[in-house]
Amino acid sequence: MTPTDLQSVRDHIASRIIGQQAFIDSMLVCLLSDGHLLVEGMPGLAKTTAVKALAEALEGDFHRIQFTPDLLPSDLIGTDIYRHDKGEFEFRQGPLFHNLLLADEVNRAPAKVQSALLEAMAEHQITVGQRTYPLPQLFMVLATQNPVEQEGTYHLPEAQLDRFLMQAVVTYPTREEELQILELDGRQQKQNYDPPAKRLSQAELFAMRRAVAELYLDPKLHSYIVDLVQATRQPKLYDKDLGRWCRFGASPRASIALARCARARAWLDGDDFVAPHHIQSVAPEILRHRILLTFEAEAEGITTDAFIKKLLSLVAIP
């Protein structure tokens, strides 16, 4: 399998949204790395549309859940139903048993609902009572969230944030892109959406994942990845200001994510091995939701992305 085999997926997503190329690349990197994606952006920026377009281009079950404050954990996991005719309880599966799950506005539900996703996202299984149920081999959570400054939003627990492989940030379109959005909307009002030319099968996707996993990653770059993650925990060793700005650094999941996503990025670029620039290109989306800044940094207007950018400039490349 080669990156050109993903072209039909790219083309279908591009037919539904304008621009957002970095966001599309993040979805494909996450898909190839067997991870989950958190997408943050203001309402109306086509986050949900892009995720639905990706699901349409893949072979598998798709389900969307609208997260609300009154949602219950059983609404995600499922529940045991008593069957009078059999005289026993029977488990009725919830939406988590689909291949692709769109958790729309995930940070509008309270923490007890977020906790229902923890085992599923980390271990691809669900435990109800005394029994554990495996999830499908292809299982991916694509969650959208609004900025926490928006009315009715909650902070996601750090334990759940760490289970997202990447966090993509969707920004406003340019003037030219917004003009194209108006033209696309006009065309779509006159005709139905075109189905994808070809749906990517799960067998093809798993073959791509194997090809990504086999891509060469030099041991020196293993050291570079670990140095980057270690630097988020001990930033004062690299810069006095970085030490003041960072409260908590990234977990070992970040090191694993950097290696996986760098391989996927290199494979998408058509390269035969991972280079330092592949690691640096995916680092912001892997680290931004795993780093907690100090109140001092927030008071100085320092963003997580600014912290990561300075960190990347200071950690030596092998």
Task: Report if residue 210 sits inside a domain.
Answer: no
Q: Which tens digits make up the pLDDT trace of 42-55?
A: 888 888 888 888 99
Higher pLDDT, 147 or 117: 117
What are the distances in angstroms from CA 28 to CA 23, 240, 284?
Answer: 9, 37, 16
C-alpha to C-alpha distance for 260 and 34, rounded to whole angstroms:
9
Task: Report if residue 209 sits inside a domain.
Answer: no
Task: Report if residue 199 sits inside a domain.
Answer: no
**Pair 306, 171 in one domain:** no
**Pair 141, 46 in one domain:** yes
C-alpha to C-alpha distance for 124 and 317, rounded to whole angstroms:
35
C-alpha to C-alpha distance for 31 and 208, rounded to whole angstroms:
10
Task: Report if residue 203 sits inside a domain.
Answer: no
Q: How many domains does the chain have?
A: 2
**Pair 223, 182 in one domain:** no
**Pair 30, 150 in one domain:** yes
Q: Domain of 143: which CATH number? A: 3.40.50.300
Give start and end residues of each alpha helix (H) in the chain. 7-16, 21-32, 47-56, 74-77, 111-114, 118-123, 158-161, 175-190, 202-213, 219-233, 240-245, 252-268, 276-287, 295-299, 304-314
**Pair 108, 160 in one domain:** yes
Higher pLDDT, 187 or 209: 209
Q: Containing domain of residue 272, as a range?
A: 215-314
Task: Report if residue 198 sits inside a domain.
Answer: no
Task: Report if residue 282 sits inside a domain.
Answer: yes
C-alpha to C-alpha distance for 237 and 269, rounded to whole angstroms:
34
Question: How far, rounded to the nearest angstrom, does the alpha carbon of residue 188 sit from its chain's CA centroid?
Answer: 28
pLDDT at 113 over 90: no
**Under 8 Å between Cβ of 134 and 84:** no
Structure tokens at 58: 């893949």
Last residue of a domain, one of 157, 190, 223: 190
Q: Which tens digits make up the pLDDT trace of 63-89?
A: 999 998 889 888 999 888 888 887 788
pLDDT at 152 over 80: no
**Pair 168, 243 in one domain:** no
**Pair 232, 185 in one domain:** no
**Pair 19, 152 in one domain:** yes
Task: Report if residue 130 sits inside a domain.
Answer: yes
pLDDT at 150 over 70: no
